[in-house]
Amino acid sequence: MNLLLAAACANPEPASPAAAPDPMPDPTAWSIAGPGGPSVSFAESELDQPCAALTGGPEDALHHNLVGIYDGWLVMPWAPEYGGGGITLFDVADPCAPVKIGEAYSPIMRESHTLAIARVGDRTILAVDMHKDDQHGGIGFWDLTDPTAPFWLSELELPDYQYPDAYFRVALSTFWQGDVLYVTAGLNGVFSIDVTDPEHPSILSQWSEIAFLGGSFQVIGNLALASSAGLSRTMLWDVGDPANWQLLADWQVVDFEDELRPYYFSNIGGRYALFARKDQGGGPIAYDLSDPLAPALVAVGSSPDGDGGYVTRHHDVLFQGESNFGARYTFAMPGEIAEIARVDLAGDFDTLIPIGNVAVASVDDGADPGLATQVFPWDREPDARGPTAELANPVDGATWIPVTGRIGLSFDEQLEPLSVHAGSFRVWRADGRAVPGRFYAQEAIANFVPDEPLEADTTYVVEVPAGGIADVSGNPAAEALRFAFSTGGEVAAVAW
């Protein structure tokens, strides 16, 4: 039986004893140091017009990529693919008057395509790409514990690193889950890195089975999406057993005419894998991941003069850099992706990231002086809608989940990572004993990693109460979620 398939048993016996579960913190028992997303309104005439520029330090080569919110601050890396860059943190409560909070430079930081940030003990650590010279590079780590004084902490070289090609054998993306950092490295496959101590990271394994010019690797619980950087090939893996990954699906992204559609990078938003189509036109393409054995094409957007870079979901709107412009697209099911509006920014415009009611646009080459990143309001009022969980892994009723498994949720917009905690993402055994663990969030994905392996032949209950997990503007989820799975052959009934 596949580890990801639901297998509800007929007439399960109630767990014994049937007692109230261990108490959990209140779902709202979290706080952030910064103000979070924007809290200002805009006039209609201000929409889709630049209102501010975000700049790096004096060494900024005007090669920018994505941004994100962590602990209420906007985090912006700035580095070219050939190395030498830094990190800047901003207060963007008023996004048209951003306040620089902290900044640092490293001569070996390289252009990064993801923001993998985690709490390790009492420290906040960001993993990025690293470049020393044409034969030496890999990943590096920033310490962001004090946002006013970030500093370069450590680095780890990866084998077979080669530059100047920017895709074939260099680190391209990072994803943090527990003590493991997944690093996608083009034709070198995916590395699992031990980040128990980020000052001394080490390689656990190298998965050469994913050596197809891999671009990104995202994990929801035990389900991993491995995508390419410029091709159409895509994979889904079950990584619940860290020593024995199982391939679930291996397919080519196509359109409704069954034509192959290469994409530049992918992303996950809720239940959907999103692909930024490139070559012969742009526009997003969406696949439904609800059945990981059969990912289903559900929507195709077309932008004949576009050339996709990165795509991000915010509820029923998709944001995508199209190289020569950035665009917003409707995203309504079934099957509708249609362009709403465009914004312009000089340079190779790959990235358009929604942060509340503004979008942060970045170019990674050819920027006008001081304008590699600009802020564009896109909605008049501050964001007031919370995130919705659309995909869980393991699924409700799943059996034979490995004891090394993790639990993940995917939402329809980006999260404030610190809102994901023991009160907002609750895990119990069926007998009510709480499961201690750690929490991680990256973009729209939240993960729970148990401190100890799960117990064999045991049912687990997961609850996500309303009012806890929140988006980057602090809006909490309005809908509660509850499901159960088992590490054995049946899911026991729960009497509480």
pLDDT tens-digit map of 376-401 = 999 999 999 999 999 999 999 999 99
Whether the domain at 1-30+384-496 and the domain at 47-377 fall into the same CATH topology: no
Q: Which residues contact 290 (CB under 8 A, 6 or more apart)?
A: 271, 296, 391
Report cis status (omega within 30 of 0) of the bond before 334.
yes
Q: What is the pLDDT of residues 88-103, one digit of tens each?
A: 999 999 999 999 999 9
Q: Which CATH number fits domain 47-377: 1.10.3720.10, 3.40.50.720, 2.130.10.10, 3.30.565.10?
A: 2.130.10.10
Higher pLDDT pick, 346 / 6: 346
Mean pLDDT of 149-170: 95
- The pTM of this model reads 0.95
CA distance 56 to 369: 12
Say what the pLDDT of residue 12 is.
45
Query: By C-alpha distance, which of 381, 376, 384 is closest to 344?
Result: 376
pLDDT at position 495 is: 85
Per-residue b or e along 154-183, where b marks 16 or more CB atoms closer than 10 Å to that residue's CB = bbbebeebebeeebbbbbbbbbbbbbbbbb
Angle value at C-alpha 65, between 391 and 212, nearest 5 degrees: 65
Its CATH architecture, for the domain 1-30+384-496, is Sandwich (2.60)
Question: Residue ranges per domain, the chain?
Answer: 1-30+384-496, 47-377
Calculate what percentage of the chain has a pLDDT beyond 70.
96
Which three-class secondary structure state does DSSP give residue 46?
A: helix
Q: How far is CA 50 from CA 14, 261, 371, 377, in A?
A: 59, 32, 10, 7
pLDDT score of 18: 53
> What distance in Å separates the CA atoms of residue 306 and residue 302, rounded to the nearest whole number?
8
Q: Is residue 302's pLDDT more than 50?
A: yes
pLDDT, residue 3, reads 38
Supply 281's token pair: 């036109």
Task: Please say if the pLDDT value at position 60 is more than 90.
Answer: yes
**pLDDT at residue 280 greater than cutoff 90:** no
Q: Positive or negative, the Cα torsion across 172, 420, 391, 66?
A: negative
- What digits encode the pLDDT tens for the residues 22-55? 999 999 999 999 999 999 999 999 999 999 999 9
Rg of the chain, C-alpha, whole Å: 21
